Amino acid sequence: MKPNFSIEGKVAIVTGASKGIGYGLAKAIAASGAKVAVTARNRDDLTALVDEISAEGGIASAYSLDVRDVIAIRSVFQQVVNDFGSLDILVNNAGFGEGMLAEDVTEQYWDDMLDTNLKGVFFCCQAAGRYMLEQGYGKIVNISSQVSIVGIPEGVAYCASKGGVNQLTKVLALEWSSRGVNINAVGPTFIHTPGTAERLETPEFKANVLSRIPMGRIGTIDDVAGAVIYLASPASDLVTGTLLVVDGGWTAQ
């Protein structure tokens, strides 16, 4: 008997899909046969992504969503269900990771980080979960980070937000898994994207990162996409409440 990794025909929401990991995840999920609703604060930023997915034979629609706005989350998720007829997969990717020394952290910076990376994730889970619980099936994948379990300098707010993502993932799994909804998280290491290229192509910074990764290479969007598609598929039906770290061994040390 072969594991079933198919998400063909499922309806997925990918938040924060206008660039970086989210952009690549949306394309990978669509290429795997799911219908994809992609969101970003500015809907126009999603035009190229929707066009690329459509050109490759996939189905995608774009929605404007600021995940800090709980009312907007509920409205957009309802619209996705109206447009596609169901909601089977949620990939919570929206977030940001700008670093700041702890002594320089302001209340506004802290609130922006936690509102986006933690509050937004929870209320997207809640909005999706209500539909998934009603239909008795769903897969939620929260994009966490390796720094949810290890610290990095200048990361006090970011690390706190991602640690919170891990904990809410566990609690939701305890509450919802018996009712057909699996909730897991993926924790990537440094991933090469257009947004991270400048730092990762700086020799000193890259050397420091590679010195911490036993496998000796920077992560790719495909590395993350493989983990996400696994957790979104029936192959992971007995997996819930866990963090799948995609870090080349960084956190094994």
Q: What is the pLDDT of residues 95-152, one digit of tens each?
A: 988 899 999 999 999 999 999 999 999 999 999 999 999 999 999 999 999 999 999 9
The pLDDT value recorded for residue 197 is 84
Report pLDDT digits (tens) over 13-41: 999 999 999 999 999 999 999 999 999 99
Q: C-alpha distances in angstroms, 172 versus 73, 97, 132, 140?
A: 18, 24, 13, 10
Q: C-alpha distances in angstroms, 45 versus 27, 41, 51?
A: 15, 8, 11
**Domain contains 92:** yes
Cα dihedral 48/10/78/41 (nearest 10):
-30
- Catalytic residue numbers? 158
Token pair of 193 as six digits: 């994207």
**Domain contains 96:** yes
| CATH number, position 21 | 3.40.50.720
What is the C-alpha to C-alpha distance for residues 138 and 132, in angstroms, rounded to an integer?
Answer: 5
Helix (H) or strand (E) holding 52: helix 47-55
**Domain contains 119:** yes
Report pLDDT digits (tens) over 50-99: 999 999 999 999 999 999 999 999 999 999 999 999 999 999 999 988 89
The pLDDT value recorded for residue 69 is 98
**Domain contains 201:** no
What is the C-alpha to C-alpha distance for residues 129 and 75, in angstroms, rounded to an integer?
Answer: 14
Token pair of 187 as six digits: 């924790």
**Domain contains 252:** no
What is the C-alpha to C-alpha distance for residues 56 and 43, in angstroms, rounded to an integer?
Answer: 20
Residue 92 pairs in a beta bridge with 142
What confidence category does residue 154 fall into, taking pLDDT thresholds of 50, 70 and 90?
very high
What is the C-alpha to C-alpha distance for residues 91 and 138, in angstroms, rounded to an integer?
Answer: 11
Q: Total domain count for the chain? A: 1
Domain that holds residue 87: 11-192+220-245
The pLDDT value recorded for residue 1 is 81
What is the C-alpha to C-alpha distance for residues 57 and 62, in angstroms, rounded to an integer?
Answer: 16
Q: Give which of 147, 166, 94, 101 is closest to 124, Cα–Cα.
A: 94
The pLDDT value recorded for residue 97 is 86
**Domain contains 81:** yes
**Domain contains 200:** no
Position 195 pLDDT exceeds 90: no
Token pair of 146 as six digits: 């390796």
Amino acid in the structure at residue 24: G
Residue 19, classified by CB atoms within 10 Å of its CB into exposed (0-12), middle (13-18) or buried (19+), is: middle
**Domain contains 66:** yes
